[in-house]
Chain A
Amino acid sequence: SAVISQKPSRDICQRGTSLTIQCQVDSQVTMMFWYRQQPGQSLTLIATANQGSEATYESGFVIDKFPISRPNLTFSTLTVSNMSPEDSSIYLCSVMPSGRNEQYFGPGTRLTVT
């Protein structure tokens, strides 16, 4: 498996501001993913972030709202831009080690927008 950390673990933000969430993994991985989990709900994929290429966004998610960076094989960031209360969720990154099918999740970032 992989050891994944996320920063911050939680934050309370005002509407209209932006928050950047960091995801760090202890080994090099090709594929990283960002998910959103609204309170009491399942996980929804936001985008796939592969190093050296633009992130691929799922339907309903756009780059202007959720810009993603992937500067190397162990790190990625997700920014939640121009936040509204509807963005209050848990944001999770996951990684897929090279040559494997398994995805491993970070601990999540709990975001509350007031």
Chain B
Amino acid sequence: QQQVKQSPQSLIVQKGGISIINCAYENTAFDYFPWYQQFPGKGPALLIAIRPDVSEKKEGRFTISFNKSAKQFSLHIMDSQPGDSATYFCAASPHKAAGNKLTFGGGTRVLVKP
């Protein structure tokens, strides 16, 4: 059972445009939602994360929007640059007492065209 569903699988955006990636989860015990960026041949790098007590978090050109009632969260990449071309994974984990195990979405391959 896939507990975190991510869409789209791939995305092409022009330089300067906005990339939007969506994730939906089922497990109401999840309370930590990170996004990772992975370049080919590299390990995933933590990009930004959010807890369910806030609806939005912004770090530079990256923004997470969180909708607790809908059990959905999304990543917006503003002013997308060719260097943002990578695979992005959303993830979710329950609180520490449950072991902090991350469940990953399927990934979105983003290509930013110059």
Which residues of B are interface residues toward A (Cβ below 8 A)?
32, 34, 36, 41-46, 49, 89, 93, 96, 99-107
Determine the distance from Cα of A2 to Cα of B31 in the docked complex, in whole angstroms.
23
Let me know if A101 is at the binding interface, CB within 8 A: yes
Which residues of A are interface residues toward B (Cβ below 8 A)?
1, 4, 31, 33, 41-45, 48, 56, 58, 92, 94, 96, 101-108, 110
Q: Is the interface of A mostly helix, strand, loop or mixed?
A: strand
Determine the distance from Cα of A108 to Cα of B43 in the docked complex, in whole angstroms.
6
- Assuming the contacts A1-B46, A107-B43, asked whether A48 and B104 have C-beta atoms less than 8 A apart, the reply is no
A103 vs chain B, min Cβ distance (A): 6
A48 and B46 contact, CB distance less than 8 A = no
Contact residue among A45, A105, A110 (Cβ-Cβ distance under 8 Å from B45):
A105
Residues of B within 8 A of A56 (CB): 99
